[in-house]
Amino acid sequence: MAANGFRGPRQIWNAFKWSMKGLRAGWRHEASFRLEVCIAVVLVPLGLWLGNGPLEKIALVLPPVLVLSAELLNSAVEAVVDKVSPEFHELAGRAKDMGSAAVFLLLAMTALTWGLILWPHWA
């Protein structure tokens, strides 16, 4: 990176390539991520179709994307914990459980959001 903090096209391209590498690693090595991608592939277009107006569309599409982001972060935490502390340690277990809890909360938020928005249309 240049001294003034400017990120040129090469740095932006490299950042994009590293992001794609991370998505491929998530898909290749994480069964939960693959399942959540499959769910998002259904929910995102469905949310764009079912949402009434831009705010509802965003409210239906954003939670599944946040779940994918949290799953990748959780997987990254787990990989680092396993590398640094391959034997069981209470703090390592706590870090992994907390990452899993973050994904769970976003999954619950996704279900709640979809239920609150779509229930009145079907009730």
Residue 78 is labelled as binding a ligand: yes
CA 41/CA 106 separation, integer angstroms: 17
Residue type, 10: R
Residue 28 is labelled as binding a ligand: no
Residue 10 is labelled as binding a ligand: no
Residue 12 is labelled as binding a ligand: no
Q: Is 56 a residue of the active site?
A: no
**Would you say 104 and 75 are in contact if contact means Cβ atoms under 8 Å apart?**
no
Two structure tokens written together for 112: 């709640």
Residue 70 is labelled as binding a ligand: no
Residue 71 is labelled as binding a ligand: yes
CA 5/CA 116 separation, integer angstroms: 44
Give the closest residue to 47 by CA, choosing from 59, 36, 39, 37.
59
Residue tagged active-site, from 36, 56, 71, 90: 71
Which residue positions form the known binding site? 24-27, 30, 71, 78, 87-89, 96-97, 100, 114-119
Q: Which residues are annotated as a binding site for ATP?
A: 30, 78, 87-89, 96-97
Q: Which residues are catalytic?
A: 71
Residue ranges of the annotated binding site for substrate are 24-27, 71, 100, 114-119
